[in-house]
């Protein structure tokens, strides 16, 4: 009896600690999933390299159930259920058998599920999610604790005890899903990085355009320009000029909406730089801001990218002394390391002094200009970052220099 009680105490302590750890990892997973759905890509610490990537796993069809509940929600509900069963066994001696037998079954289900999900990740998706590995490890450790403390579970085993205790787990899971449905972001904009058209979509798009009207490469453009896309050529136009490369008189004008903490935008910035270097005055490339940060973007629910607004402000500050593109490049080259201190240091590197930084950050016109960019983007139906418009028409193709060069050349020949 004394031996069993000691085993029970060990199970209660270690099982509860692991359950709380599992809840924490599952919450982190859910937060990552929600940001990915809005931003299209994240700079979460679980994105380590091409193989160890939470983004790739969360973008797969296995990351949600058919009702769009992320796996993180199930993780929270599962570990809450385990914790509830352990607490019930602790405070209700008459329910200990029901609670612990149900707990043992739930741990077994969790171990099997973890093995299956790891198999899907490794052999079907071909990527590994470090956060998921952490959750699987916690579940396997629960199994190990249960195995070594198995004498603490009252006998005999029976279906009635398991089903009675099982309701705690079911209630915890259902309650978690219900709460998620109530408190999840009311407006999930589903921002995504560049998503090239499929062959079928290109064919359908060409039918809209008319096969004889334009070169096939232009099927990557929406049929009609958006009236919302406007370029401010001088500081006296609107709330401030748009920073740009190339000739204002170029026949082809490219407008990019981007976020400074968006990995896909960092990649796009390199493509734009190469395109500008290749085509020169044959094209005008314009940069506009769409920070995924509620600090300056009222259409975003949260501070998904905590320094995106601050980076946009500081880069426009650099533009006031003719150093916009130098600052733009510096920020994108170091987008994973952005914080307030580094932004100020980078601004000084390109030539701003303390007084200029202070005055610029205090200017309401800078934020108003960024918000004007956001307004244009929303009116044009922004669906991702980066989003690119070419001659006012949304570009749906690959954001890489050679493909975009073909689009520019095709437009020049019309």
Question: What pLDDT, on a 0 to 100 scale, did the predictor assign at position 218?
Answer: 87
CA terminus-to-terminus distance, the chain = 89
- Give the pLDDT confidence of 94-134 residue by residue, as tens digits: 999 999 999 999 999 999 999 999 999 999 888 899 999 99
- Give the pLDDT confidence of 8-28 residue by residue, as tens digits: 999 999 999 999 999 999 999
The residue among 190, 189, 202, 191 whose CA lies nearest residue 398 is: 202
CB 152 within 8 A of CB 11: yes
Return the number of other C-beta atoms located less than 10 Å from residue 23's C-beta. Answer: 20
What is the distance of C-alpha 171 from the center of its chain?
Answer: 30
Identify the structural domains of the chain with CATH numbers, from first to last: 2-183 (1.20.1440.130), 199-412 (3.40.30.10)
Contacting residues for 353 by C-beta, under 8 A, at least 6 apart = none
Q: Mind spelling out the 3-state secondary structure of the chain?
A: CHHHHHHHHHHHHHHHHHHHHHHHHHHHHHHHHHHHHHHCCCCCCCECCCCEEHHHHHCCHHHECCCCCEHHHHHHHHHHHHHHHHHHHHHCHHHHHHHHHHHHHHHHHHHHHHHHHHHHHHHHHCCECHHHHHHHHHHHHHHHHHHHCHHHCCCCCCHHHHHHHHHHHHHHHHHHHHHHHHHCCCCCCCCCCCCCCCHHHHHHHHHHHCCCCCCHHHHHECCCCCCCCCCCCCCCCCCCCCCEEECCCCCEEEEEEECCCCHHHHHHHHHHHHHHHHHHHHEEEEEEECCCCCCCCCCCCCCCCCCHHHHHHHHHHHHCCCCHHHHHHHHHHCHHHCCHHHHHHHHHHHCCCHHHHHHHHHCHHHHHHHHHHHHHHHHCCCCCCCEEEECCEEECCCCCHHHHHHHHHHHHCC
pLDDT higher for 215 or 160?
Answer: 160
Alpha-carbon span 8 to 124, nearest angstrom: 40
Percent of the chain, pLDDT > 90?
A: 64
Most confident of 170-179, 180-189, 297-306: 170-179
- Give the pLDDT confidence of 43-100 residue by residue, as tens digits: 788 888 878 888 888 878 888 888 889 999 999 999 999 999 999 999 999 999 999 9
pLDDT, average across residues 169-175:
91
This prediction has a pTM of: 0.57
pLDDT band at 209 (very low <50, low <70, confident <90, very high): very low
């Amino acid at each position: 009896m004394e031996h069993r009680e000691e085993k029970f105490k060990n199970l209660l302590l270690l099982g509860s600690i692991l359950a709380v750890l599992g809840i924490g990892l599952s919450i982190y997973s859910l937060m990552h999933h929600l940001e990915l759905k809005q931003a299209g890509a994240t700079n979460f610490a679980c994105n380590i390299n091409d193989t160890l990537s939470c983004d790739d796993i969360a973008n797969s069809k296995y990351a949600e159930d058919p009702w769009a509940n992320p796996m993180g929600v199930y993780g929270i509900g599962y570990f809450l259920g385990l914790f509830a069963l352990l607490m019930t066994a602790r405070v209700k001696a008459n329910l200990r058998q029901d609670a612990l037998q149900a707990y043992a079954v739930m741990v077994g289900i969790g171990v099997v599920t973890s093995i299956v999900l790891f198999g899907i990740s490794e052999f079907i998706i071909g990527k590994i999610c470090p956060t998921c590995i952490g959750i699987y490890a916690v579940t396997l450790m629960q199994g190990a604790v249960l195995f070594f403390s198995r004498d603490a579970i009252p006998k005999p085993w029976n279906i009635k005890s398991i089903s009675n205790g099982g309701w705690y787990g079911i209630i915890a899971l259902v309650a978690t899903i219900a709460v998620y449905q109530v408190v999840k972001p009311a407006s999930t904009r589903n921002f995504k990085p560049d998503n090239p058209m499929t062959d079928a979509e290109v064919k359908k798009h060409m039918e809209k355009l008319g096969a004889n009207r334009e070169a096939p490469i232009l099927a990557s453009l929406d049929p009609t320009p958006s009236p919302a896309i406007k370029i401010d050529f001088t500081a006296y136009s609107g709330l401030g000029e748009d920073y740009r490369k190339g000739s204002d008189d170029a026949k082809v004008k490219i407008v990019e909406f981007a976020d400074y903490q968006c990995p896909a935008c960092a990649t796009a910035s390199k493509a734009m730089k190469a395109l500008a270097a290749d085509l020169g005055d044959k094209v005008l490339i314009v940069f506009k801001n769409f920070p995924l940060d509620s600090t300056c973007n009222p259409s975003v629910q949260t501070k998904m990218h905590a320094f995106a607004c601050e980076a946009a402000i500081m880069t426009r500050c650099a533009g006031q002394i003719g150093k916009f593109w130098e600052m733009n490049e510096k920020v994108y080259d170091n987008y994973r390391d952005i914080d307030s201190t580094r932004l100020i240091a980078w601004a000084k590197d390109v030539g701003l002094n303390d007084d200029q930084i202070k005055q610029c950050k205090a200017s309401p016109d800078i934020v108003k200009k960024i918000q004007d960019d956001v307004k244009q983007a929303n009116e044009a139906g922004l669906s991702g970052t980066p989003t690119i418009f070419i001659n006012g028409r949304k570009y749906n193709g690959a954001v890489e220099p050679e493909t975009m060069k073909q689009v520019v050349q095709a437009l020049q020949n019309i």
